[in-house]
Chain A
């Protein structure tokens, strides 16, 4: 099983649609979870941290299920500007102050007019 695995995509949706991304992770000791967005030929930018209780930021909702080892990102009322690659990131403490972040390969979203 890959350390972090995401929906392969790509996703093509019309404006206004709701789209959900899923991500599974293999290390049950993982501690922190994030969603990043990466525009074409740009650096990844932090979109949301994912908390155990789930969290929402405007049109974006992130959820964590530790028992099943997956996280999700829901985008409601999608906009053209949401078109990007969405990266799932998982962190665990590999000993002392060493934290290892593992990135998924990303899921490409294209929102069409």
Chain B
């Protein structure tokens, strides 16, 4: 089945540790995105990539890093520099075109204590 997978579903880390969240898609989509969602808030864009080996900062990139070495994969690293890392992280992908509909993975809930 085509889709987007994120792992793990739940992740717990101690403050000061870097952590990498996985996102894989087999939809052959060119573009991939990372968002975070906090309670009562809308989705906020962290990073996005329109093509392999290229990515751009979104609205809240500080404390995060990404790579796009393969079309299918767009891992996100939450570094110790991120002040409030506890959140629901969502990965999405889209095929470039007129409508540009985004499809989301199931998300990873990160808790940092």
The chain A residues found within 8 Å of chain B, CB to CB, are: 4, 31-32, 34, 41-46, 49, 87, 89, 91, 97-101, 103-106
Contacts and interface: CB of A to CB of B under 8 A. Distances in A.
Nearest to B31: A99
Interface SS of chain A:
strand
A44 B98 contact: no
A46 B94 CA distance: 12
B106 A32 contact: no
Nearest to B30: A97
Contact of B99 (A42, A45, A49): A49
Contacts of B56: 98
A43 B90 contact: yes
Interface string B86-106: 001010001010111111111
A70 B50 CA distance: 28
A103 to B, nearest CB: 4
Nearest to A96: B50
Interface SS of chain B = strand
A97 B96 contact: yes
Nearest to B56: A98
B96 A99 contact: yes
Contact of A91 (B41, B51, B88, B100): B100
A4 to B, nearest CB: 8
Given A42-B106, A43-B107, A44-B90, A105 B100 contact: no
